[in-house]
Structure 1
């Protein structure tokens, strides 16, 4: 007997692996994506350990029709709504820890169910600072990125990519991958805090010392990773762009990063492996985030996301 499989037409703009784990079209709702908050595990929902980075003020996630003061409503790439990440109007200099509210973070909480092997994260996205003044303000966007937070039987590791757009007002436009510098201690990683919840290699979005050129103790530059992304001529216009990350969970390695028509070969590069955390065995969380570079809100829009496996 022959079987006919009908696929959503929206998948035509993706190139998924054989098994589609999820296809999140935000016209159909949040699809399990939510804000990231600290672990409220202390008495009366207070955090158990002190951290130098205040994670309680990260910007909100909303479903957005991408409406602007001058251009009206963009809608999403396919439909009306996209997932919108919004920072708050605050930022520290790049070489300091991120200010409370200077990041927005979206996460989908999954666990593994397939044999180890290739995994892929695909999305169409757009970004812009808030259209609240005249002039072109591309430099208000510091960085954005995607990653998987994975824990198997032996290790927990973050594996993903970050686009460094601007540092202290100067354009950089280079890709990085999650990979911590060797020799960094847990205390150095957490800005001098003893017994911080986070260990070296985890949560590099806001941990790890930062340097004036855009490098950090938590990321490594992608070879030949400069890319001038399409931004358009003003802050009230957005352009949808394609992003794809391919990894190997059997080898615990990067495979490829594709941004638009650029494909970066990352084969053989390994992320930073840490000891497993309690109670999160089988963790497989896809995530995205955005960070601003000035005291101005910036927005990151995800039209849809596809997570797939071989």
Structure 2
């Protein structure tokens, strides 16, 4: 191995699946869903004593599925380079949402990079394009500083979504959320709280965030999109956002911030979500996800 070439670059060239990403020096997780769920699961809302204590936003969520992107006219679409993708499917109701999450902790409060290949479609139940049936898709981090942070420690939740359509009309722009939401106590022991941070209000337009994504000509065709989001865990600030060939100005981006919680130190959760605009299921598919960081 040449001494002047980082070891991670040699690994990239040896692994075609990984070489389509541009990771930082340490790969924290590389999830290709041909290998299974890779730790991604349903975002379950907090509860205590009774499942009905869960906030309604969380109660609508269901587990993600492994999918070959099956459809009625040609069988299965498959992933970028394999058979399976992770499918995040909403219920068939306008405004319905669903979320898949991976729960980690971090060992160094430095730069991290999230990269993914994704695509979105409504369920193909009609012989028409249905390009405005998906309201939005997006991703978020749920982060908290380490337990030595001291006074003023925060839980920080960067959110980014592509608002594809609203009330049947194309919008096609990226948005972020920093508006805090009500925190609701759960149960009677003062141990559990909850807040539904994906509620439809409070989203703000990303500066210059208009983008027209590839959406193919019939309701069963898909094209994969590249996403990259960089975040500094030390400064708790976004440093880069890219979708396909577009790099966006994130100088005005901020995250939802609330006081740190007593049992979530060093939390590093990442989630993807989908939202329907009609009474038809909306799908977000993840072919592969790479989370990397600096040492």
Aligning the two structures, in what range does the TM-score lie when normalised by the shorter sequence? 0.7 to 0.9
* Matches of 1:61 and 1:307, distance apart in 2: 19
* Map of 1:74 onto structure 2: 77
Q: Give CA-to-partner distance per residue, 1:42-99, whole Å, 9 cap, x none.
A: 2xx4354x74x3422224310001111002211100111010011111124xxxxxxx
In structure 2, stretches of 5+ residues that fail to align are: 185-189
* Map of 1:271 onto structure 2: 255
* Map of 1:236 onto structure 2: 220
Q: Does 1:12 align with 2:8?
A: no
8 Å Cα contact 2:46-2:194 kept in structure 1: no
* Matches of 1:81 and 1:25, distance apart in 2: 9
Instruction: Give 2:107's match in structure 1, choosing from 106, 113, 122.
Output: 113
Shift of 1:286: 0.9
Shift of 1:41: 2.0
Which SS does the other structure have where 2:158 is aligned?
strand
Instruction: Give 1:205's match in structure 2, choosing from 198, 222, 225.
Output: 198
8 Å Cα contact 1:160-1:245 kept in structure 2: no
8 Å Cα contact 2:178-2:257 kept in structure 1: no
In structure 1, stretches of 5+ residues that fail to align are: 93-101, 211-215
Once the two structures are superposed, the pairs formed by residues 34-183 of structure 1 within 5 Å of their partners are 34-42=41-49, 45-48=50-53, 51=55, 53-92=56-95, 102-114=96-108, 116-152=109-145, 153=149, 154-180=153-179
Between Structure 1 and Structure 2, which shows a larger proportion of strand residues?
2
Which SS does the other structure have where 2:165 is aligned?
strand
* Matches of 2:70 and 2:181, distance apart in 1: 45
Question: TM-score, normalised on structure 1?
Answer: 0.82
Taking only aligned residues, the RMSD between alpha carbons, in angstroms, comes to: 2.2
Question: TM-score, normalised on structure 2?
Answer: 0.86
8 Å Cα contact 1:256-1:267 kept in structure 2: no
8 Å Cα contact 2:207-2:252 kept in structure 1: no
* Map of 2:187 onto structure 1: none
Shift of 1:11: 1.1
* Map of 1:186 onto structure 2: 182
